[in-house]
Structure 1
C-alpha cells in the first residue's frame, strides 16, 4: 500500500496516481515518489474544495432569491385595478371602490392620478382601486353611447360614500378628484 502525500489516501502498491485526488504517486520510470506529506496544508483534494465553494455559492443564491421574492408584491397586488365581482380576495389595504351606474356603455380612467387604469364597460360596475388609504384618487368616467339616461359615479372609502356626482347629458362626463 502506498499512502498519497497530498491527501493521505491508502492506494494499492501498483497505483501510479492516487485514486482519491489523482496525485502522481510514481514517476515515468515507475519509481515511487517519496512520501512527503505537507503538514501545514489543508489536506483535501482540489475537487472537494471546488464542490464546497460551489455549494456555498448555490446556498447564498437560493437565500438571496428567497429574500428577494418574499419582498416583491404579488401579481394581484401589483395590478392597479381589480374587478369586484366576488372572485378576487379584497384586502383592507385598498379601501377605495368606484361604483359606476349607467344603463349604457361608458369609458373610465380610475385610480392613483399618476397610474390611471383604463376600463370600458356596459351597465353598472363596481371596482376596487389600487390606492392606499393615504393616496389621492381620481375618477374620470364618460358616456360612450350618447344616451339620455343618468350616469352616476360614486367613490367609496371603506364602504362609505366620500364623493359622488351624476349627469344626464348625452355626452356626459364626470371627473372626481379626491384627497384624503
Structure 2
C-alpha cells in the first residue's frame, strides 16, 4: 500500500493517482513523484498575473485616449467642402453671415436648430453664424419699436442667398434657407 502524501489515504501499490484526491502518486510503478513546484519557467502568483493584465489594459486605454483626442478636428478649423465635380473648396469656419437692418429696436433668433443664436439691437448689425455650408439656416427677426423697414439678409461666402423685409409696426420677418 502507498500512502498519499497530500490526504493520507491508503492506495494500492499499483495506483498512479490517489483514489481520494487524485494526487499523482507515481509516473511508473513504484516511483513516487515529487509534486513540489517546478522552478523552471514562469512561477508567478495569480495576483501578479492580474496586476500585469490590468496594467496592460490601462496602457491600452491611455494610448486609445491619446490617439482619439489628437485625431479630433478642432471647432476652429476651416470646413473643407468637396463639390460634385470633385473640386476642393476650403471655406471659412462660419460661411453664413446674417445682416439685420432696422430703423428701430429689433430682436432676432438665427442659425438652425442646432446652432441657435439670439441677438437684439438697433440699426444695422451683422452676425457670423456657426453653421456648416450644408446646414439649413433660419432667421426670425421682430421689430420692437420704430417705424420704417426691418430687413434681413443671409450671405453665404459674401453673396446674398436669401432676404426678406417688413414695414409693419411690430411684425415678424422670417427667412429660411435650405442649402
Please, what TM-score do these two structures have when normalized by structure 1?
A: 0.58
Q: Aligned pair 1:42/2:42, yes or no?
A: yes
Matches within 5 A, 1:24-173: 36-39=36-39, 41-44=41-44, 46=46, 48-70=48-70, 92-112=92-112, 114-115=113-114, 117-123=116-122, 124-144=124-144, 146-173=145-172
Question: Over alpha carbons, which structure has the higher Rg?
Answer: 2
Question: What is the deviation of 1:51?
Answer: 3.7
- Secondary structure at 1:148's aligned position in 2? coil
Query: Which stretch shifts more, 61-70 or 124-133?
Result: 61-70
Higher relative contact order structure (alpha carbons within 8 Å, sequence separation ≥ 6): 1
Pick closer, same or farther for the CA change 1:120–1:93 going to 2, 3 Å.
closer
Measured at CA, do residues 110 and 71 of structure 1 come closer, stay the same or move farther in structure 2, by a change above 3 Å? farther
Q: How many residues align?
A: 132
Say which structure is richer in strand: 2
Could you list the per-position Cα deviations for residues 51-75 of structure 1 after superposition, in whole angstroms to 9, with x for gaps in the alignment?
4223212112212323443466657
Alpha-carbon separation, structure 1, partners of 2:156 and 2:148: 26
Task: Give deviations 1:65-91, integer Å, cap 9, x for gaps.
Answer: 2344346665779xxxxxxxxxxxxx6
Unaligned runs of 5+ residues in structure 2 are: 1-33, 78-90
Secondary structure of 1:177's match?
strand
> For the residues of structure 1 that align with 2:72 and 2:100, how far apart are their CA atoms?
32
Distance in 2, Cα, partners of 1:72 & 1:103: 44
Question: What does residue 178 of structure 1 align with?
Answer: 177
- The answer for the alignment partner of 2:12 in structure 1 is none
Cα distance in 2, alignment partners of residues 40 and 159 from structure 1: 77
**Secondary structure class of the residue paired with 2:175:** strand
